[in-house]
Chains A and B, each alone.
Chain A
Amino acid sequence: DAGITQSPRHKVTETGTPVTLRCHQTENHRYMYWYRQDPGHGLRLIHYSYGVKDTDKGEVSDGYSVSRSKTEDFLLTLESATSSQTSVYFCAIRFETSRDTQYFGPGTRLTVL
């Protein structure tokens, strides 16, 4: 599992509430990614980080923000959750070797009512 944990693993919240998901890694990887997975869409990139305080948008970044104040933690925030953000969220890391493979965490299932 490449030393990745995600918290919480499950969350139910109401529309309009703020939500923060945490991705924690123990192996000092520089690159971290947040994806969402929905039926029929595969994994879609929300935001990614290439170092502390260095982040950039992915394909589906609207409604999401991220922060990375230390190497081991990459936070995904939904400022005001909407039902369309009901999804399974995965964090991933990439090793800084010649390989480009990303390794994924166990996921967070978020339900917005």
Chain B
Amino acid sequence: GESVGLHLPTLSVQEGDNSIINCAYSNSASDYFIWYKQESGKGPQFIIDIRSNMDKRQGQRVTVLLNKTVKHLSLQIAATQPGDSAVYFCADTEISSGSARQLTFGSGTQLTVLP
């Protein structure tokens, strides 16, 4: 996951624009990556995942890109809507974490959609 910081990085976008949220991970052995969305007062919600044998995966209005060379993950949200305002964070895991498949989480990015 991301480096830990005291304050969340923030991203403000105009409604209708595309959003790109970035995540750097540190474990070169990570083989599975997930993006979560967390709205205020709620639990994290799964958005999309990607395995290390892929470099791109698309969902509904979202695309995840994986660059293993520089250990970087990004989440692209097309035509951002007010309901997309939330904290987004990435998580990763590696096969050596055993059957429990423990996840390592980044601290997140606060996305604000401006009207």
A→B interface (CB under 8 Å): 1, 31, 39-45, 48, 50, 56, 58, 90, 94, 99-107
Contacts and interface: CB of A to CB of B under 8 A. Distances in A.
Contacts of B7: 40
Given A48-B102, A50-B100, A99 B49 contact: yes
Among A48, A58, A100, A103, the most chain B Cβ lie within 10 Å of the Cβ of A100
Contact of A106 (B32, B42, B100, B101): B42
B106 A42 contact: yes
B106 A45 contact: no
Main secondary structure of the interface of A (DSSP, over half): strand
B43 A40 contact: no
Contacts of B1: 42
A50 B105 CA distance: 20
Contacts of A58: 102
Nearest to A4: B43
Which 6 A-B pairs have CB atoms at the shortest separation, nearest pair first? Answer: A104-B43, A42-B105, A43-B105, A42-B107, A100-B101, A40-B6
Given A104-B43, A104-B44, A41 B4 contact: yes
Question: Interface residues of B toward A: which range?
Answer: 20 to 34
A42 B89 contact: yes
13 contacts: A40-B5, A40-B107, A41-B4, A42-B89, A42-B105, A42-B106, A45-B103, A58-B102, A90-B43, A100-B32, A100-B34, A100-B101, A103-B46
A84 to B, nearest CB: 17
Contact of B2 (A42, A100, A105): A42
Nearest to A2: B46
A107 B43 contact: yes
Contacts of B89: 42-43
A48 to B, nearest CB: 6
B100 A56 contact: yes
Given A42-B4, A102-B103, 4 more contacts: A1-B43, A39-B6, A42-B1, A100-B101
